Structure 1
Amino acid sequence: MEASPPPPSPPPPPRPVTHVIFDMDGLLLDTERLYSAVFGEVCGRYGRRYDGAVKARTLGRTAPEAAAAVVRALSLPLSPQSLHRETHHRLQSLFPTANLMPGAERLVRHLREHGVPCGLATSSCSASFEAKTRRHRDFFSLFDPVVLGDDPEVLQGKPAPDIFLACARRFSPPPEPQACLVLEDAPLGLRAARAAGMQAVLVPEEPLSAELTAGATLVLPSLCHLRPQLFGLPALP
């Protein structure tokens, strides 16, 4: 009889940190529903269904990478560049409607009020970032540094660690990677954080398999459930 595979190793216990790095799409901003609507409409015109399995391949990627992933997954009869151009135009008009995710503002303002440095590391390009954050400029002013997907220091996108390491280097003074906690919604972002030597809390849109959450210190249903004191940070009131 073939032996059963060993159960996944339990995650390491939380360790104290001094700095927090946030992803943006799906974690701080409710933009994923916009991507689903636009990609779903375009794919539907070709008789293809943009479902959760296809969407999972796009999370955490830059827009051109996401378009290429959708074309491959659904064998769409158009180039990744064509899909990116069409969806990008539509999304740019919708991005300013995005709302903040539950618990996001309360958590970030709490950390900043207690002097905890908070950075932002998002795969969004500069134009998309401006559109997405237009209604929330005061909130996003709380993040320093901000590193975008088209930053020249980000040579490779997630799951490579470039974007998180670049963000850590731009804190003043810069901490060691192990002193940073990354908050992410996507498995690719989780892998990037772990590759950077950082702890990561995963806040996925929907439940994920143990394989996709492996390496996360915690997996939470929303930012409302985060207890900062587990990482040596000030507890929420």
Structure 2
Amino acid sequence: MPCRPRIRYAIFDMDGLLLDTERCYYQAASAILGERGLTLSDEVNAARLGLKAEESTKLILESTGASLTPEEYRLELRKRQTELWRTVKPLPGAMTIVNRLKSVSIPISIATSSALPEFSIKRSACPDLFSLFEGCWVLGDDPRVSRGKPEPDIFQEAARRMGVKEEGAREVLVFEDSPNGVLAALRANMVPIWVIGSDPAFLGLVYERGGDVVHSLEDVRIEDWGIALPSKGLL
């Protein structure tokens, strides 16, 4: 395995990584399509992960042939998801890994494809988690992010706001759960940790860049990237 670089910054995806929100999308989309005799396949659902809302909607409608306009689909989806979002919780290991990074003064940020209205609802459901980021996040509707994942724009913008210079990209650890997000991190020349990663097309690249593939955030050992943890009182 290649030598792992020393990490000085960390960026987190949000949906399906920090928060159990991907199930909300799947439940809502499946209900909308099911009422029309259609099915959201696992392959299409996986392919939309990390995409901006417009791109995700286009993929769903084109792949299923649903007789809905993008506006109709997003409106119905939003109505169904909103109540589910209000009940979301951090996924296992999320609070621990964020607290550990904070405890050793590693700057952290969120880079999510969610737009501000959706982000605000999810944030209000988990105030303790989001308070740790101290307002440091980049959203999918940010005007400085012209291209969504799998392009690197959102991670590059998050890094820029944390003061990372272009040549320092290899000092940034990116936590992701989707192939599109992992590819975006790789294109940004950052170091990905892929949670529940399974696509063989990317596994080799992740390890080659000094990253890792884990089943849960609970399995991440940040000390493997040169981050010294306190000897007592780990959070």
Q: TM-score, normalised by structure 2?
A: 0.90
The answer as to whether partners of 2:51 and 2:113 remain within 8 angstroms in 1 is: yes
- 1:143: Cα distance to partner? 1.5
Matched AA of 2:219: H
The answer as to whether partners of 1:15 and 1:230 remain within 8 angstroms in 2 is: no
Matched AA of 2:183: R
C-alpha distance 120-47 of structure 1, shift in aligned 2 (>3 A): same
The answer as to whether partners of 2:174 and 2:191 remain within 8 angstroms in 1 is: yes
Number of aligned residues: 224
The answer as to whether partners of 2:179 and 2:199 remain within 8 angstroms in 1 is: no
Alignment counterpart, residue 152 of structure 1, candidates 143, 147, 159: 143
Residue 57 of structure 1 aligns to a residue whose secondary structure is: helix
- 1:20: Cα distance to partner? 0.4
Q: Which moved more, 1:82-91 or 1:180-189?
A: 82-91
The equivalent of 1:183 in structure 2 is: 175
The equivalent of 1:92 in structure 2 is: 82
Residue 48 of structure 2 aligns to a residue whose secondary structure is: coil
Alignment counterpart, residue 157 of structure 2, candidates 153, 158, 166: 166
Alignment counterpart, residue 23 of structure 2, candidates 29, 33, 38: 33
Q: List 4+ stretches of structure 1 deviating above 6 A.
A: none
Query: Matches of residues 54-69 of structure 1 in structure 2 within 5 Å?
Result: 54-69=44-59
Question: Is 1:44 aligned to 2:38, yes or no?
Answer: no
Q: TM-score, normalised by structure 1?
A: 0.89
Identity %: 35
Gaps of 5+ in 2: none
- 1:14: Cα distance to partner? 2.4
- 1:110: Cα distance to partner? 1.2
- 1:36: Cα distance to partner? 0.9
Query: Matches of residues 80-229 of structure 1 in structure 2 within 5 Å?
Result: 80-144=70-134, 145-171=136-162, 173-175=163-165, 176-204=168-196, 208-216=198-206, 217-229=211-223
Gaps of 5+ in 1: 1-10
- 1:199: Cα distance to partner? 0.8
Distance in 2 between residues matched to 1:26 and 1:42, nearest whole Å: 21
Distance in 1 between residues matched to 2:29 and 2:54, nearest whole Å: 13
Matched AA of 1:155: S
The equivalent of 2:224 in structure 1 is: 230
